[in-house]
Each structure stands twice: as C-alpha cells, then as structure tokens.
Amino acid sequence: MDATTAMYVAQGIHGLAYGMVLFLVASGLTLIFGMMGILNVAHTAFFMLSAYFCYQVVAWTGSFWLALLMAPIATAIVGVLVERFLLRRIHALGLLFELTLTIGVMFVIMEAVKVFWGTENLPLPVPLLLEGLVQIGGMEYPVYRLFIIGLSLAVLGFLAFILYKTRMGMVVRAAVSDADMVNALGINVPRLFMFVFGVGTWLAGLAGVAIAPILTVFPGLADQMGMDAFIVVIVGGFGSLGGALMVAIISGLLSSYGVQFVSQLAPVLMFIFMAVVLAIKPTGFFGEREG
C-alpha cells in the first residue's frame, strides 16, 4: 500500500473514531429528545463533567478501567437527580421552561467544574494496555482509537438490543411515539422518563471518559463537542438513533477529510451541510416530526 492510501485510511480512522464518540453523545441527546421532547442543552456539560470525574478517579486510584466504569455512573446519578428534582416539577408548564432550565443547569455545571478543578488543562494518560500502534495488513493504527470505535459499536449493539428486543425497550419506543397513551396503559411514565434521562447522561458520560485521554480535560471540552452533537441530532432527525449514527459518522469523516482538503473551510463544512439538509427537509434525515 502506498503512502497516499495509507494517509487516507489513517484520516478515515481518525474521522471514524471522532464520529463514534460523537454518536455516543448524540445518541443520549436524541434518546432524551425523542422520549421527553426536551432539547437538553446541558447534555454536553454532563459530557464534560464525566471527563472531570474520570480524571478524579484516575487521580485517586490510578486505574483508567475503574474510571471508565465509575465516571459515567456518577454522571448518570447527577442526571437522574436533575430530572427528578428539577425537570419533573415543571414538566406540565411546557417545553420552553424545561429547555431554559437545562440552560441554567449547564451554567452551573460549567462553572462548578472550574471551582473544583480550576481552569487549566488536566492531562490524562492513555492506559498502558491501549498505548502505541497496532499493525493490521501492513498498516499501523493507534490502538486507542480502535478501542473507541469498538467500545462505541458495543454500546450501539447493546442499545439496539435493549430497544428492539426487550419488553422495556418496547415500552420506551411506545412512549417515544405517544407518552400519554403509555401512561394511560398503567405504565409509570415519569419513572421511565427518569430512567431514560439517566441512560442518556450515562451515554454522554461514557463519551466523556473515552475522549478524555485524547483531548485532555479542560473547561472548553463541552463547547468543542457540543455544537457537533447538536447538529448530528438535528440533521439525523430528532429522536432517531439510526439517523444519529449515520450523521455522526458523516460528520466525523467530514471534519477529518475536510481539514486535509479544504482546511480553510473545515470549521464551517458541518454548518453548511446542516443548513442544506434542513432547508430541504426541516425534520432532518429520519425525523418524522418537527422538533
């Protein structure tokens, strides 16, 4: 394989890894939106919070694997508390109030991490097992990025299994299409909402831990990922997991190849893509209803 092809493949792997992390964040966002109709502005703040939790767990125990387990769970607990004690109380008032409440939650989380961890970049080493490069078919790949792709695929498979093969998944899908009706059938929809919000923030948390060793942990982490994640959800169609996956991968590849070919335009490629899609189909690729 010659050098040019190798470069294309390497860029492709980079893009794919970023796209998969993006999908982890966006899947939580789209799940929450599809279910509760809330655009969770604080979602990427949870993503960043988890990266900080990860840093803290590694600082205490030195184990990345423990952090991978604990940090998303801790984030999900914060998410569940926010849903139970803040969002649920004003659910009846309408979406605007829920949405602006999540803006408030975002402000608080973004500033709270600065109070606890300061504003500087906190480096996080890649775990020993995943360091270095691996040779496949005469080419070298960074192991950690392959691990991210594998982890995201595993989560995607698990999520698809839960949603489409279990009774609980059936209930969730039913609630996505008509929450009132499901409530009338005797299912505790508020508890379901809390659960889905928890899972959504857990997914964001997982993405936060996965990205932390690559980008280091810093307060701007949420901004970097946030915009892309929102765009993925909108373009893919609100509440659509498949759409989110497709657009996340397109987005990842666009950003990695975009830097290579049209570096001046790279930052705006995604926005142009989004504007074009929405101008033609306001519901996004797979969206059935307008958000």
Partner 1 sequence: MNRRVKGIVWGVILVILALYPWLFGIYFTNVIVTCAIFALFAVSYNLLLGYTGLFSFGHAMFFGAGGYATALALTHIEGCPLLVALLFGFLGAVALALLLSPIVARLAHSAFAMLHLAFSMLMYTLALKLRGITGGEDGIGGFPIPPFRIPGVVSVDMTDPLNFYYFAMAVLGGSLWVAWFLTKTPFGQIIVSVRDNAKRVDYMGFKVPQTKAIIYTLSCGFAGIAGSIYAMFQDLISAASFGIAQSFAPIVMTMVGGVISFFGPIWGAVIFAVIEELTTRYTERVQLVEGLILIIVILFFPGGFIHLAAIVKGKWLGFIRGQWFGSIKGKWFGKQ
**Beta carbon nearer to partner 1, 16 or 39:** 39
Q: How far apart (Å, rounded) are the C-alpha atoms in residues 110 and 140? A: 38
Question: 10 Å Cβ neighbour count for 241?
Answer: 21
Which 270-289 positions form the footprint of partner 1 (CB under 8 A)? 271-272, 274-275, 278-279, 282-284
Closest CA to 202 of 52, 105, 74: 74
Strand segments (E) across the chain: 133-136, 139-142
Under the binding rule (CB under 8 A), the answer on residue 115 touching partner 1 is: yes
Considering the rule CB under 8 A, would residue 120 count as an interface residue with partner 1? no
Number of residues that bind partner 1 (CB under 8 A): 45
CB 57, min distance to partner 1, A? 24
Please spell the DSSP secondary structure of 235-278, one letter per residue. Answer: HH-TT-HHHHHHHHHHHHHHHHHHHHH-TTTHHHHHHHHHHHHH
Of 33, 52, 144, 195, the one binding partner 1 (CB under 8 A) is 33
> Which DSSP symbol is given to 120?
S
Shortest Cβ distance from residue 219 to partner 1 (Å)? Answer: 11
Question: Residues 213, 51: contact at Cβ < 8 Å?
Answer: no
User: What does the chain come to in residues?
Assistant: 291
Contact at 8 Å (CB) between 175 and 192? yes
Interaction of residue 99 with partner 1, rule CB under 8 A: yes
Distance in angstroms (rounded) separating the CA atoms of residues 243 and 34: 12
Per-residue mark of binding to partner 1, 53-92 (x: CB under 8 A): ---------------------------------x--xx-x
DSSP, collapsed to helix, strand or coil, labels residue 285 as: coil
- Given 81, 114, 133, 220, the residue binding partner 1 (CB under 8 A): 114
Q: Rounded distance, CA 259 to CA 190, Å?
A: 44
39 binds partner 1 (CB under 8 A): yes
Least CB distance to partner 1 at residue 101 (A): 5
Q: Which of 69, 95, 170, 185 binds partner 1 (CB under 8 A)?
A: 95
Contact range with partner 1 by CB under 8 A, out of 64-72, 105-113, 143-151, 182-190: 105-113
Interface residues toward partner 1, by CB under 8 A: 33, 39, 86, 89-90, 92-97, 99-101, 103-108, 110-112, 114-115, 223, 227, 230-231, 234, 238, 264, 267-268, 271-272, 274-275, 278-279, 282-284, 290-291
